[in-house]
Each structure stands twice: as C-alpha cells, then as structure tokens.
Amino acid sequence: MVACDEPCCAGPLGVTMPDAIQPGTATGVRVKRKRPRRRKGVLMTREELARRLELLRVEHRDLDSAIVALNETPMPDQLAIARLKKRKLRLRDEISWIEDNLVPDIIA
C-alpha cells in the first residue's frame, strides 16, 4: 500500500489505496466533482444575493412538489425521496444563510 497525496483519495482514518489503483497510474481512477469549487474571498452584491435567494426558493418549492409526487406513486422510491429531502434541507440552510446576510442585525 502506498499513501496517496491527493485529497480525493484520503479515506477515513488514514486508509490508503492499493498500489494498483493509485491516481496518476495507468489504472488510476480520477473522481470528478459534481459542481465547481467556489472561489474563496469572492463577495456577492446584495442584488446577486437577492437573485440567488429567489432561485433557491423556487428550487425549494420544486423539490417539495417532486417529493409529494413521488410519495403519491404506487411504489414510492424511498431512496430518491430521502435524497430529495436532504437536498431540500441543504437549500433551506443556504436560504437561511442568505436571508441572514441580507437583513442587517439590529440590536434593540
């Protein structure tokens, strides 16, 4: 076993990958990210935050209707429903974060 220096291969508790499947080798496997990394330090304007907030709210409502539709099928796919619910919770967290940043804190 060889320790991999790449962050995509770091396993839990320092588990390393066998030599045969190390990234960068002939048989290595590269994992693609699902979405691009966000650049740190890039600030969004209030208008951009408001637009993002509206898009997130629309997607949150769409997920809600998709979950209801999946539940109404004769054999609902519980795994798909669970994934949609987790996505909906992540959206809710991001919506809350944006709302907190748009509304100034007023100490009474």
- 101 pLDDT band, cuts 50/70/90, is confident
pLDDT of residue 24: 46
- Of residues 24 and 104, more confidence is placed in 104
Average pLDDT, the chain: 75
Q: Are 21 and 28 in contact (CB under 8 A)?
A: yes
Q: Are 4 and 10 in contact (CB under 8 A)?
A: yes
Rounded-to-integer distance, Cα 4 and Cα 28, Å: 11
Rounded (10°) angle between helices 46-71 and 78-102 = 160
- 21 pLDDT band, cuts 50/70/90, is very low
pLDDT of residue 106: 77
Q: Are 8 and 23 in contact (CB under 8 A)?
A: yes
For 22-72, how does the pLDDT look when each residue is reduced to its tens digit (9 = 90+)?
Answer: 444 444 444 444 454 555 656 788 899 999 999 999 999 999 999 999 999
* Residues sharing a CB contact under 8 Å with residue 29, sequence separation 6 or more, in sequence order: 21, 23
pLDDT of residue 41: 59
Instruction: Please return the burial class of 83, using the count of CB atoms within 10 Å of its CB with bins 0-12, 13-18 and 19+.
Output: exposed
Mean of the pLDDT values across residues 3-13? 48
- Of residues 56 and 10, more confidence is placed in 56
Q: Are 40 and 55 in contact (CB under 8 A)?
A: no
Q: Are 25 and 6 in contact (CB under 8 A)?
A: no
